[in-house]
Amino acid sequence: MNTALAAPAHAADALDLGPAWHAGFADLGPAFHTDTPPTALPETQLVALNAPLARELGFDPARLTGPEAVAALSGSRPIAGTRPVATVYSGHQFGVWAGQLGDGRAILLGELRTPQGPIEVQLKGAGLTRYSRMGDGRAVLRSSIREYLCSEAMHGLGIPTTRALSLTGSPQPVIRETVETAAVVARVAPSFVRFGHFEHFSANGLTPELRRLADFVIDRHYPDCRSAAGNAYANLLEAVSARTAALLAQWQAVGFCHGVMNTDNMSILGLTIDYGPFQFMDAFNPAHVCNHSDHGGRYAYHRQPNIAYWNLFCLGQALLPLMDEQQQALDALEPYKALFPAALTRRMGAKLGLQATAEGDAELVEALMQLMARDAVDFTICFRRLCDAVAGDSAPVRDLFLQREAFDAWAERWRERLQSQPGFDAAATAAAMRRVNPRIVLRNHLGQIAIERAQQGDFTEVRRLQQALAAPFDDREGEDDLAAFPPDWAQQIEISCSS
């Protein structure tokens, strides 16, 4: 059922932003959500707008910049045609069952129909909901800038992610370790359903609702799971596992640490979701833990692929009531073990200029990563300089290593492998490598500089970063500072769950 929405009760005050809204998820019924209007913030202002995305969604960007629209995008004025709800989910946090969670500060407005399919819109930080528990329903400007920029950075890198439409701020104080100010990210995705949504209905023995949710997701996003042979829900689990494997390979290949891979932060569509304590690594350390609250290092970079598998197990467990036997879930999860390493070798091989995977490539990649780890080499700069080494000068990449002879020995093996490719063309290979090895990623210190300026009321750096991160593979003038090594103070930045 996909009904267009009736005008809400507060229609007189509601602002028409252009495109028509549909209920989508809210049609599932009251077991899945609670009607929750956003809570207004005072004196809202536009920190940044994603005009290209606005156009894709059917908005006229010029119409989103006026004070009324900015109030609407921050949840401070109702949007005509929307039906705001907070959805309920549960989840495993840091390996432990956490029980009911839910959208404690994100409010789903409804969905827009685009040529690419339905797109849900949420306001994160838009006020208290039934699921806020001890929280205040708010998000601070600091963490909202990080979410806004990183979701678009991931999109620019070609990594599946929720996306950010707008970032609005307000002087309203929000208490974290210090007093900060409130902000709201309007974010979009084809679906915000998480593994935790399934865990919720399963753990509560609500099998009809569990089935309803699974059918909703299959019908809209995985129709092949029903037409294929076998149990449709086991097929769903297998399809989600495949997307998750592909996602994790992409994270690992850009040195991205998520920081809070709890099952409530795992997207059923294999999107990156919840930009909290994430980090793009500077110096490569496979055991790097970006979240200062993660004392045990559960979500260290090198553990991410196994954690994803653990989370998929939780999803499989949740879907069991819809399967005929446990073995179906186990069989659906099995392919991850081969899919992930194959995808990683393919991605890392492409970073090294290899068009197809051959025997020995995984080992060649691993040997480089070990050298990088031993010398704490900068992840992004190393791969970018390798591009230049194919057709030209290898001194800049060699200079990154302390153990130069070890690097030379590795580079010789690499060159041999490159030249073994049929029709090898050095210039074309270097160009292809530049399309997969970004020049610019959202390093912690770059975000920090933009945050500190924005906290002073200057949003220019947020907007400059947004533009640069949208095309992270390009060599553009005036962006050398964004592609440079991190300053020493970058190591002192502490990123925690506080947001």
Ligand X SMILES: Nc1ncnc2c1ncn2[C@@H]1O[C@H](COP(=O)(O)OP(=O)(O)OP(=O)(O)O)[C@@H](O)[C@H]1O
Which does residue 311 touch among Mg ion, ligand X, none (CB within 5 to 8 A, set by kind)? none
- CB of residue 494 to ligand X, shortest distance in Å: 16
- Residue from 49, 103, 148, 440 that binds ligand X (CB under 6 A)? 103
The tokens for 343 are 């995808």
Q: Does 135 bind ligand X (CB under 6 A)?
A: yes
Q: Which stretch binds Mg ion (CB under 5 A): 259-267, 311-319, 394-402, 433-441?
A: 259-267
Whether residue 136 is annotated as binding a ligand: the answer is yes
Q: Print the SS3 string covering the chain.
A: CCCECCCCCCHHHCECCCCCEECHHHHHCCCCEEECCCCCCCCCEEEEECHHHHHHCCCCHHHHCCHHHHHHHCCCCCECCCCCEEECCEEEECCEEEEECCCCCEEEEEEEEECCEEEEEEEECCCCCCCCCCCCCCEEHHHHHHHHHHHHHHHHCCCCECEEEEEEEEEEEEECCCEEEEEEEEEEECCCCEHHHHHHHHHCCCHHHHHHHHHHHHHHHCCHHHHCCCCHHHHHHHHHHHHHHHHHHHHHHHCEECCCCCHHHCECCCCECCCCCCEECCECCCCCCCCCCCCCCCCCHHHHHHHHHHHHHHHHHHHHHHCCCHHHHHHHHCCHHHHHHHHHHHHHHHHCCCCCCCCCHHHHHHHHHHHHHHCCCEHHHHHHHHHHHHHCCCHHHHCCCCCHHHHHHHHHHHHHHHHCCCCCCHHHHHHHHHCCCCCCCCCHHHHHHHHHHHHCCCCHHHHHHHHHHHCCCCCCCCCHHHHCCCCHHHHHCCCCCCC
Residue 243 partner contact from ligand X, Mg ion, none using kind-dependent CB cut-offs of 5 to 8 Å: none
Of 36, 50, 265, 311, the one binding Mg ion by CB under 5 A: 265
Nearer Cβ to ligand X (106/441): 106
Q: Residue 274 or residue 375: which is nearer to ligand X going by CB? A: 274
Tell whether 423 is in a known binding site: no
- Residues 27, 35, 60, 136: which binds ligand X (CB under 6 A)? 136
194: annotated binding-site residue? yes
Residue 136 binds which of Mg ion, ligand X, none (CB < 5-8 A, kind-dependent): ligand X
What is the token pair recorded at 85? Answer: 């709800």
Closer residue to ligand X in complex, CB, 89/336: 89
Instruction: Quote the least distance from Cβ 102 to ligand X, whole Å.
Output: 5
CB of 147 to Mg ion, least distance (A): 11
User: Is 124 among the annotated ligand-binding positions?
Assistant: yes
**Is 398 exposed, middle or buried, given 0-12, 13-18 or 19+ CB atoms closer than 10 A?**
middle
Query: Smallest distance from the beta carbon of 363 to ligand X, in angstroms?
Result: 37
> Which residue, 94 or 424, is less far from Mg ion as judged by CB?
94
Nearer to ligand X, 77 or 92 (CB): 92
**CB of 391 or CB of 497, closer to Mg ion:** 497
Residue 265 annotated as binding?
Answer: yes
Q: Choose which of 8, 104, 230, 286 interacts with ligand X (CB under 6 A).
A: 104
Decide: is 105 part of the binding site for ligand X (CB under 6 A): yes
Q: Binding to Mg ion by residue 274, rule CB under 5 A?
A: yes
Residue pair 263/99 in contact (Cβ under 8 Å)? The answer is: no
Q: Is residue 353 marked as binding?
A: no
Q: Residues binding ligand X: what is the number (CB under 6 A)?
A: 20
In angstroms, rounded to a whole number, what is the distance separating the alpha carbons of residues 338 and 342?
Answer: 6
Size (the chain), residues = 499
Find the binder of ligand X among 57, 64, 106, 451 (CB under 6 A).
106
Annotated ligand binding at 105? The verdict is yes
Under the criterion CB under 5 A, does residue 122 sit at the interface with Mg ion?
no
Min separation Cβ 260 and ligand X, Å: 6
- Tell me whether residue 104 or residue 321 sits nearer to ligand X (CB atom): 104
Q: In whole angstroms, what is the distance from residue 197 CA to residue 267 CA?
A: 10
Residue 101: name its binding partner from Mg ion, ligand X, none (Cβ under 5 to 8 Å by kind): ligand X
Distance CA 89, CA 195 (A): 8
Minimum distance, C-beta of residue 174 to ligand X, in the bound complex (Å) = 8
In the residue annotation, 480 being an active-site residue is answered as: no
Active-site residue (options: 264, 294, 375, 378): 264
Least distance to ligand X, CB of residue 120, Å = 12
State the residue for tokens 């194959």: 342
102: annotated binding-site residue? yes
Segment near ligand X (CB under 6 A), from 95-103, 217-225, 313-321, 427-435? 95-103
Q: Which x/- pattern, by CB under 6 A, does the window 263-292 give for ligand X?
A: -xx--------x-x----------------
Distance between CA 449 and CA 487 in Å, rounded? 11
Q: How far is the CB of 262 from Mg ion (least distance, A)?
A: 7
Residue 164 is a binding residue for ligand X (CB under 6 A): no
CA angle 26, 275, 218 (to 5 degrees): 40
Contact assessment for residue 312 and residue 336, using Cβ atoms and an 8 Å cutoff? yes
**Token digits for 261?**
């891979």
Which residues define the annotated binding site? 102, 104-105, 124, 136-137, 187, 194, 265, 274
Binding site for Mg ion (CB under 5 A): 265, 274
Which residues define the annotated binding site for ATP? 102, 104-105, 124, 136-137, 187, 194, 274
Residues labelled catalytic? 264
Binding site for ligand X (CB under 6 A): 101-106, 124, 131-132, 135-138, 260, 264-265, 274, 276, 497, 499
